């Protein structure tokens, strides 16, 4: 798509079309080839782009024509308020972490790693192989391609200590991204109105999925060592909850990792209450200073439902993740997936499997670890040197983010506005709290573009805090 000659022809023809009469015939491909000194393939690509934009239409064997513009009248959809009434689950207007921003700002708001941290060459060669294979035209079984199920179960099995039964491939359900996995887990394992315990703060996408499932969210505070087990036990007792959602490794947004001793205590509490732990291992591929051993590796009693995504570490375009669950829970989640989307694209599954079984994937992950360490330390140093008003309470051992506390009483909305005017985009921390925020926080992603600009970013942030203080 981002082909320079093709873009040049598109731009040229857009101008031509703007002044042409509806129905006017475009110059022939041959004439355009001569005019733009481009190949016929490039000209065809430009024409396809303009067709996609609805500016022109081709009639086979006749030529290509300017489409007639339509007049639009304003419509009143007020009747829909009567049909729809108030929403039965809250409507979210879209998260800060998904915002697209211009290339010239310093973007620390995103939830995704920068293009340069992705295994671009591996992804493209995997997609090229998948395109040539049967996967380009195939339909996967509902639970996923057997070889990919096998890879996911093997990965978790490798972390399973001797004496415990590792998962088997049929415990794995391949889903189109971890958000879909979360939605299905909550829908399948909770009836509307039932309690769901979550860490606070926690991933905004999980809060969104919980709201969509009409769960009653029960927050438990969680710090650098995870939640306090005694507090978690009280939450189970008080509410009768059967489900606890958590990110034990490099939690989003705080980067916290549960110490090994906490793993065991929390697993015991979950079991004692006949409950499930939904373990969202979102940052499995983003370890820096420790390793990400899943809690799920220590459970073979079906109490942990494990979620592992490849979207962030492989490519945002390869939406592939896995839910690993055992027993009736697995069956209910699979039934929900079938009702929701039937199956996941064969092509994406085949390409994802190709990437993660390629020997270069290990090398790539090692490089990403080094890169993340450099970038994390660079941003932490920049905050230390240039943003005395921003407090980094905990240097995370993995993940993509720093979780930074601003002075009490800071008006977060005004701070983020000031930052944006100065060319810095940050994510206000409020979205990560399932209940009231417990303070003014911002989340700073150190995996985005332009790490060289971190000192500038820190200065802008500090200045914004200072300006908005009373």
**Which contiguous run of DSSP H or E holds residue 64?**
strand 63-66
Q: Which distant-in-sequence residues (6+ apart) come within 8 Å of 128 by Cβ?
A: none
- Using rule CB under 8 A, residue 359 touches its own copies: yes
- Using rule CB under 8 A, residue 212 touches its own copies: yes
What is the token pair recorded at 82? 């009567």
Under a CB-based contact definition with an 8 Å cutoff, are residues 24 and 65 in contact?
Answer: yes
The smaller minimum CB distance to its own copies, of residues 215 and 402, is found at 215
- Using rule CB under 8 A, residue 302 touches its own copies: yes
Closest contact distance (angstroms) between CB of 239 and its own copies is 14
Three-state DSSP class for 378? helix
The smaller minimum CB distance to its own copies, of residues 118 and 453, is found at 118
The smaller minimum CB distance to its own copies, of residues 194 and 462, is found at 194
The phi-psi region of residue 126 (left if phi > 0; otherwise alpha if psi is between -120 and 50; otherwise beta) is alpha
Write out the binding residues for its own copies, residues 95-114 only, by CB under 8 A: 98, 100, 112
Three-state DSSP class for 384? helix
- Using rule CB under 8 A, residue 230 touches its own copies: no
Write out the binding residues for its own copies, residues 128-187 only, by CB under 8 A: 128-139, 141-142, 147-148, 150-151, 153-154, 157, 165-166, 168-169, 176-177, 179-180, 183, 187
The β-bridge relationship of strands 243-246 and 276-280 is: parallel
Write out the binding residues for its own copies, residues 9-48 only, by CB under 8 A: 45, 48
* Residue 246, CA atoms < 13 Å, CB-side half-sphere: 31
The smaller minimum CB distance to its own copies, of residues 119 and 399, is found at 119
Q: Which stretch binds its own copies (CB under 8 A): 202-210, 398-406, 410-418, 425-433?
A: 202-210
Q: Which stretch binds its own copies (CB under 8 A): 252-260, 269-277, 284-292, 440-448?
A: 269-277
The count of chain residues that interact with its own copies, using the rule CB under 8 A, is: 120
The smaller minimum CB distance to its own copies, of residues 67 and 265, is found at 67
The smaller minimum CB distance to its own copies, of residues 180 and 254, is found at 180
Write out the binding residues for its own copies, residues 305-344 only, by CB under 8 A: 315-319, 326-329, 331-332, 335-336, 338-344
Q: Which stretch binds its own copies (CB under 8 A): 94-102, 248-256, 278-286, 425-433?
A: 94-102
Of 95, 112, 324, 96, nearest in space to 208 by CA: 95
- Using rule CB under 8 A, residue 208 touches its own copies: yes
Closest contact distance (angstroms) between CB of 418 and its own copies is 26
- Using rule CB under 8 A, residue 346 touches its own copies: yes
Closest contact distance (angstroms) between CB of 5 and its own copies is 14
Of 31, 39, 291, 363, the residue at the interface with its own copies (CB under 8 A) is 363
- Using rule CB under 8 A, residue 123 touches its own copies: yes
Distance CA(294)–CA(280), nearest Å, equals 9
Write out the binding residues for its own copies, residues 388-427 only, by CB under 8 A: none
Phi, psi of 398 (to 5 degrees): -175, 180
Q: Is the peptide bond before 342 cis (omega within 30 degrees of 0)?
A: no
The smaller minimum CB distance to its own copies, of residues 15 and 94, is found at 94
Write out the binding residues for its own copies, residues 423-442 only, by CB under 8 A: none
Under a CB-based contact definition with an 8 Å cutoff, are residues 276 and 425 in contact?
Answer: no
Binding flags for its own copies, 44-83, as an x/- string (CB under 8 A): -x--xx-xxxx---x-x------x--xxxx-x-x-xxxxx
The smaller minimum CB distance to its own copies, of residues 2 and 452, is found at 2
Under a CB-based contact definition with an 8 Å cutoff, are residues 177 and 311 in contact?
Answer: yes
Distance CA(7)–CA(9), nearest Å, equals 5
Distance CA(161)–CA(115), nearest Å, equals 35
Under a CB-based contact definition with an 8 Å cutoff, are residues 242 and 274 in contact?
Answer: yes
The smaller minimum CB distance to its own copies, of residues 189 and 383, is found at 189
Report which DSSP code applies to 406: P
Q: Is the peptide bond before 447 cis (omega within 30 degrees of 0)?
A: no
Of 18, 37, 62, 191, the residue at the interface with its own copies (CB under 8 A) is 191
Distances (CA, A) of 442 to 108, 176, 391, 400: 10, 29, 10, 14
Of 134, 126, 151, nearest in space to 354 by CA: 126
Q: Which residues of 148-163 are buried (b: 16+ CB within 10 A; e: fewer)?
A: bbbbbbebbbeebeee
Of 26, 46, 118, 278, the residue at the interface with its own copies (CB under 8 A) is 118
Q: Which stretch binds its own copies (CB under 8 A): 358-366, 372-380, 382-390, 448-456?
A: 358-366
């Amino acid at each position: 798509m981002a082909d320079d000659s093709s873009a040049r022809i598109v731009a040229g023809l857009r101008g031509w079309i703007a002044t042409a009469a509806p129905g006017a015939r475009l110059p022939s491909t041959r004439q355009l080839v001569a005019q733009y000194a481009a190949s016929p393939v490039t000209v065809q690509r430009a024409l396809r782009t303009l067709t996609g934009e609805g500016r022109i239409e081709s009639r086979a064997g006749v030529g290509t024509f300017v489409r007639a513009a339509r007049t639009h009248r304003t419509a009143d959809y007020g009747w829909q308020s009567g049909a729809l009434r108030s929403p039965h689950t809250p409507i979210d207007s879209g998260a800060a972490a998904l915002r697209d921003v211009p290339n010239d700002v310093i973007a620390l708001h995103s939830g995704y790693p920068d293009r340069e941290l992705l295994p671009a060459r591996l992804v493209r060669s995997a997609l090229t192989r998948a395109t040539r294979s049967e996967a380009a035209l195939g339909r996967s079984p509902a639970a996923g391609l057997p070889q990919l199920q096998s890879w996911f179960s093997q990965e978790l099995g490798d972390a399973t200590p001797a004496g415990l039964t590792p998962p088997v491939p049929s415990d794995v359900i391949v889903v189109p991204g971890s958000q879909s996995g979360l939605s299905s887990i909550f829908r399948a394992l909770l009836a509307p109105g039932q309690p769901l315990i979550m860490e606070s703060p926690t991933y905004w996408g999980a809060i969104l999925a919980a709201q969509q499932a009409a769960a009653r969210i029960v927050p438990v505070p969680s710090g650098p060592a995870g939640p306090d087990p005694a507090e978690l036990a009280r939450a189970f007792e008080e509410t009768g909850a059967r489900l606890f959602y958590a990110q034990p490794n490099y939690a989003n947004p705080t980067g916290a990792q549960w110490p090994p001793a906490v793993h065991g205590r929390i697993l015991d509490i979950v079991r004692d209450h006949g409950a499930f732990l939904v373990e969202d291992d979102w940052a499995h591929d983003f370890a820096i200073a420790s390793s990400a051993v899943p809690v799920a590796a220590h459970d073979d009693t079906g109490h942990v439902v494990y979620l592992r995504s490849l979207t962030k570490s492989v490519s945002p375009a390869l939406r592939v993740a896995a839910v690993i669950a055992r027993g009736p829970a697995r069956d209910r989640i699979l039934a929900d997936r079938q009702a929701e989307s039937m199956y996941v694209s064969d092509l994406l599954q085949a390409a994802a499997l190709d990437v993660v079984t390629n020997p270069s994937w290990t090398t790539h992950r090692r490089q990403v670890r080094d890169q993340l360490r450099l970038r994390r330390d660079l941003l932490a140093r920049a905050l230390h040197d240039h943003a005395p008003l921003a407090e980094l309470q905990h240097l995370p051992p993995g993940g993509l983010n720093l979780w930074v506390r601003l002075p009490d009483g800071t008006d977060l909305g005004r701070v983020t506005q000031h930052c944006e005017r100065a060319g810095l985009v940050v994510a206000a921390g409020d979205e990560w709290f399932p209940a009231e925020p417990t303070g003014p926080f911002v989340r700073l992603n150190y995996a985005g573009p332009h790490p060289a600009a971190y000192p500038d970013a820190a200065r802008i942030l500090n200045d914004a805090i200072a300006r908005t203080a009373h």
